[in-house]
Amino acid sequence: SDNMGRIIDHKLFTEEDIHEICVRLGKQLTEDYAGKKPLVVGALKGAIYFLTDLTKQMDVEQQLDFIDVSSYGDGFESTGKIEIVHDLAADVAGRDVLIVEDIVDTGLTLKFMKDLLIERGAKSVKCCVLLDKEARRTTEVEVEYYGSKVGNEFVVGYGMDFLNMYRNLPYIGILKPEIIDKYIK
């Protein structure tokens, strides 16, 4: 059955596309983080699907932690105001930190996290993002690793949400316009 698929206009990335991206990035990160025992930081909630698949392709000793610095709330557009909803458990001082994100849009969320971790004394802070929505950037922030660029379309699935829904789609797609219209008035 494909109950949830009925809300999708079309797929942008299939499960196979995503798997290939994870294998490619995982290989690169395996080389780059060999012997560094990185702290992998997942950005809740959007990054969790990508993080679990990506780290399984990273053949290096690593530790895992999470941070939630939502700026979108349950909403559709970034509010621009970023707050720490849930902080890391780990001390990042002296650590090589790899932030894992589903998507970089304005760049505000990623910039906030990078600045925070550098300020706390991390030895290095890099990021691996699945999708880079470059055209929407309002803040300069370096994206060291990315899976694919995307255009200015509202994508859902594989962690990415609309009103905190549709994260569990195994692929990435574009919502039917009528689904958005129903809620955004």
| Residues acting as catalytic residues | 105
- C-beta of residue 148 within 8 angstroms of C-beta of residue 13: yes
* Torsions phi, psi for 85 (to 5 deg): -85, -40
CB-neighbour burial class of residue 134 (10 A; exposed 0-12, middle 13-18, buried 19+): middle
Residue nearest to ligand PRP (CB): 46
Could you give the 3-state DSSP secondary structure of residue 130? strand
- Which listed residue (96, 101, 102, 161) binds Mg ion by CB under 5 A? 161
DSSP structural state of residue 68: B
Least gap, CB of 71 to ligand PRP (angstroms):
5
* Closest to Mn ion by CB, 46 or 173: 46
* Closest to Mn ion by CB, 23 or 165: 165
* Torsions phi, psi for 175 (to 5 deg): -65, 150
Least gap, CB of 125 to Mg ion (angstroms):
22
Largest CA distance in the chain: 52
Least gap, CB of 161 to ligand PRP (angstroms):
5
46 is a site residue for Mn ion (CB under 5 A): yes
Q: Which residues contact ligand PRP by CB under 6 A? A: 43-46, 70-72, 78, 101-110, 161
By a kind-dependent CB cut-off of 5 to 8 A, residue 106 interacts, out of Mn ion, ligand PRP, Mg ion, none, with: ligand PRP
* Rounded Cα gap, residues 27 and 58, in angstroms: 7
| Distance, first Cα to last Cα, the chain | 31
* Closest to Mn ion by CB, 55 or 71: 71
Two tokens, residue 54: 């990506």
Least gap, CB of 116 to ligand PRP (angstroms):
13
By a kind-dependent CB cut-off of 5 to 8 A, residue 103 interacts, out of Mn ion, Mg ion, ligand PRP, none, with: ligand PRP
* Closest to ligand PRP by CB, 72 or 171: 72
- Which listed residue (68, 72, 174, 176) binds Mg ion by CB under 5 A? 72
In Å, how far from its chain's centre is CA 141?
14
| Residue numbers at the binding site for Mn ion (CB under 5 A) | 46
